[in-house]
Structures are given as structure tokens and as C-alpha cells.
Amino acid sequence: MEKRDIEIVDVTLRDGSHAMRHAFTEKQVRETARGLDQAGIRYFEVSHGDGLGGSSLQYGFSKVDELKLIEAAADECQQAQVSVLLLPGIGLKEDLQEAVKAGAKMVRVATHVTEADVAHQHISLGRELGLKTVGFLMMAHMAPVEKLVEQAKLFESYGAEIVYATDSAGALLPHEVKERVSALRDALQCDIGFHGHNNLSMAMANTVAAVEAGATYVDGSLCCLGAGSGNTQTEVMAAVFDRMNIETGVDLYKVMDVANGVVAPFMPRPQEITGSSLIMGYSGVYSSFLLHTNEAARKFNVDERDILVELGRMQAIGGQEDLIYDIAAQIAAAKG
């Protein structure tokens, strides 16, 4: 196995599920997985946008069963390994066991930044199943650095081999990322990861800041396909880190080819920083709320930015999607 300074973990087939309204086809997954494998990506994620078990009325139903997509992706891998996301309370331990049967080799157990303790049994199970096991602290901007470190230590004590600071809202700025990742690097023995969103156009800068502060796992998505304004762009990361003489093991031309030749044609829209996603980053709102907010604004004929600002004021977190429609209805009622 060749030496790499950092691992780029691609999340196109999981975070991109939000932007795709969870409608990935098996063909799209196979072609993307094959391209990522050939480009030298070692780990890439496949699941519903909200993780294993996320296909539901609350979060949106998947067009194709996620276990079938995991199996299809694993079937295309000669070198790469399939990762899955699991949010305790949405995904069950049985879902993870089924994902392993379908071919998953890594699990990333995600909790709100202050709730790492709910993940103990899931991280332990990941290790028992022989998976590369990761703790994923979401909405990292919502807690002081000391709290982030405290929660990260819990993940490490449960057996996490990597702990991520996750900028789910795309709200952090580079100096804030550096502060958080540096604190994690100083406090933990395990590897540190960073997952960014581009709502304030900071994803690439934040990812560079994370690596300079000691992160060795960083997430990206092809063509930025992901929730909100998308993630740090995988093919851009490959180019930037090559310019920085940081070894990723990723073939730049091949990863560009899968981005532009496979993913770009099936994207429902370009991953631009729209007024709504900009407000998400500005207000610190969970990126996967974007499409729900679009729909609520249309339904109640209100400005979606007003909904997002209120969600930010309320410090809403993942799992509180029902608030979006409540707020839209309240804004509409106040307008008369």
C-alpha cells in the first residue's frame, strides 16, 4: 500500500444524495464507484444522505434501496472500499450488519457535536465487525472548542480510529477550522478528519487549513455534489494538494474524468452558492435542510431566507426537519 500524506474520502454517493433527492440509480452508483476506484480514491461513502435507515417520510425516500447501492458500489471496487454513514436514532445496529453483508468496509458514526455519548454501542459494533470505524461530530461550529475536544475524546474512548470535525452548515472560517483541528490533534491519539460544506465559499480553504493543522482524512465530493452548496470539490482537492506537494494517491486526470464525464451529466443543478445556501452558512443552518426549505417556502409562499434565519436563531439541528414547515407556516400567518 503506497504512502499517502492524507486520505481524500469521497462522499458524492452519500452527501450527494441530498442534492439528488435520494434518487441515485444503480447505474449512476456503479459508474461513479468504478471511476473513483480507478482514480485511486481509497474510501468513498454510499448511503442515503441521512445515513443507513434514512429512507423515510421524514428524510425522503430513496429511489433504490441503499443496500442494493452499497452492494453495487462494492462490486465495482478493485482497490477502493465502501464507507457508510450511520446516525444513531436513524440507523440501527442491524442496518450496519446488513451493510457489512452488502460490502461496506468503513462506518462513520455521526452525532450532533454535543451528543457523542449516543454512539458508544455503534462504534463498538463497528470495531467488532472489523470495520474502519470513525466518529463524526456534526455541526462543529455550534460548540466551543473545549466541548468539541471533550466529545471527541468520548469517540476515541469508544474505539473510533478517526474523529472528524464536521462543518455541516458550511459556517466555519479557516481560522476557526485551524483552531478546532489543532485542538483535536493535541488532545487525541487517533487520526483527525475534516468534512466541509461550501455555503460561504470556504470549503477548499477550510480543508487546506484542516490539513495544515494536522487532519489526515478530508472529505470531498465530485463536482461539489452535496447538501447546501455542496462539499469541498474532490477533483480540486487533488489538484491543490498536488500543488502543495501533499501526497493523496489520487490520479488528477482520472478523478476529473469521473467528475466531468459521469457525475456532471446526472446532476439536477450546478452546485452554486445560491441566496439560500449562502444564508445557511451565514446563519449556521444544517446543509441538508436546503431542499426542505425550498419546498416549505413554495408551499407557504414565503421567503426561504426568512425560514433559514429563524432556523439559525433557534439553533435547529439534524432531525428537526419538521420545524422548517412550522416556521414557514408561522411566517405566512404573520404576513396575513
Per the document, the length of the chain is: 336
Measured over the CA atoms of residue 258, residue 272, residue 42 and residue 212, the dihedral's sign is positive
Q: Would you say the CATH fold of 275-335 matches that of 7-266?
A: no
Say how far apart CA 215 and CA 336 lie, in whole Å: 50
The per-residue pLDDT for 31 is 98
* The residue type at 29: V
15 is in an annotated binding site: yes
What pLDDT does residue 86 have?
Answer: 97
For residues 335 and 72, is the Cβ–Cβ distance under 8 A?
A: no
Please give the pLDDT value at position 319: 79
pTM as predicted: 0.94
CATH architecture of 275-335: Orthogonal Bundle (1.10)
| pLDDT tens-digit series, residues 166-211 | 999 999 999 999 999 999 999 999 999 999 999 999 999 999 999 9
User: For position 198, what pLDDT does the model report?
Assistant: 97
Assigned superfamily of 7-266: Aldolase class I (3.20.20.70)
Q: Based on C-alpha coordinates, what's the Rg of the chain?
A: 18
141 appears as a binding residue in the annotation: no
Is residue 197 marked as binding?
A: yes
**What's CA 99's distance to the chain center, in Å?**
18
Angle between helices 66-75 and 26-39 (to 10 degrees): 40
User: What is the reported pLDDT for 21?
Assistant: 93
> What is the distance between the alpha carbons of residues 149 and 158, in angstroms, rounded to a whole number?
14
Residue tagged active-site, from 18, 22, 112, 292:
18
pLDDT at 55: 84
Q: Is 256 exposed, middle or buried (0-12, 13-18, 19+ CB in 10 A)?
A: middle
Regions of the chain where pLDDT drops below 50: none
Question: Is there a binding annotation on residue 37?
Answer: no
The response to whether 168 counts as a known ligand-binding position is: yes
Ordered by start, the domain boundaries in the chain are: 7-266, 275-335
93-102 and 66-75 helices, crossing angle to 10°: 30
**pLDDT score at 1:** 54
Active site residue 175: no
